[in-house]
């Protein structure tokens, strides 16, 4: 089966199962979204959504956050892991947003990726979910699924992002990356499917008999 044929199967199945998809990280403005995505690195969305209401009650804008002591931020976000690095990033980026962007979250990849603690994946989520610009955020979970489904042979998220963007219509990217995340959590789990069990894995690789191991 060609890669384009697999992509067609994936697109068809995901749109049948997930006609609409909610944004997993709870937020009420773009600053909250940025912070929530930053906190989600190596942490579950569920845990982030438990922590952020406490943090955002203290401060839900960059102007308010820059007045919160770093030690206070650290104590609140500690359950998310990597708290020293994340609290430092939140503390610093809040000041940068106030000084350089009048307190607003910038609307370009270039400006976002210059902020402390904000990499390409985080910027992609903010651009797609916050501003509605076409983006295809790729994390290790989507990277794993794309390999299982035969959509990429890339050994890193950079190549996977490039391959998926080439396979799917640009106007589908924002919804599609969420559909893939939800499908992976529900049907194609890391330690149960291994490319052999779920509907998409079977549709894309009907002759596969050996477990597929994700290339890092």
Task: List, by residue number, the catalytic residues.
Answer: 121, 139
Alpha-carbon distances of 101 from 2, 94, 97, 117, rounded to whole Å: 46, 10, 5, 17
> 123 vs 12, 18, 41, 133, 149, CA distance in Å?
28, 24, 12, 11, 26
C-beta of residue 55 within 8 angstroms of C-beta of residue 73: yes
Both tokens assigned to 76: 């609140």
Helix (H) or strand (E) holding 74: helix 70-77
Query: Of 37, 38, 33, nearest to 117 (Cα)?
Result: 38
Angle made by CA atoms 86, 90, 93, in degrees to the nearest 5: 130
Residue 8: CB atoms within 10 Å: 16
The whole-angstrom separation of Cα 88 and Cα 203 is 45
**CA torsion, ordered 28, 38, 164, 214, to nearest 10 deg:** -130
């Amino acid at each position: 089966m060609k890669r384009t044929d697999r992509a067609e199967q994936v697109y068809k199945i995901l749109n049948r199962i997930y006609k609409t998809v909610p944004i997993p990280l709870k937020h009420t403005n773009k600053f909250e979204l940025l912070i929530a995505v930053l906190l989600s690195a190596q942490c579950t969305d569920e845990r982030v959504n438990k922590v952020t209401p406490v943090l955002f009650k203290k401060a839900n804008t960059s102007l308010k956050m820059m007045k919160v002591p770093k030690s206070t931020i650290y104590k609140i976000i500690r359950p998310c892991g990597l708290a020293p690095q994340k609290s430092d990033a939140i503390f610093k980026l809040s000041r940068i947003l106030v000084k350089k962007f009048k307190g607003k979250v910038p609307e370009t990849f270039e400006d976002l990726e210059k902020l402390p603690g904000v990499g390409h994946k985080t910027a992609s989520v903010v651009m797609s979910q916050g501003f509605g610009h076409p983006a295809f955020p790729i994390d290790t979970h989507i990277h794993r699924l794309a390999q299982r489904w035969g959509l990429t042979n890339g050994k890193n998220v950079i190549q996977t992002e490039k391959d998926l963007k080439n396979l799917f219509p640009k106007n589908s990217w924002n919804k599609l990356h969420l559909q893939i995340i939800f499908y992976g959590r529900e049907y194609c789990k890391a330690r149960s499917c291994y490319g052999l069990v779920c509907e998409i894995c079977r549709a894309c690789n009907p002759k596969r008999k050996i477990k597929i191991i994700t290339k890092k």
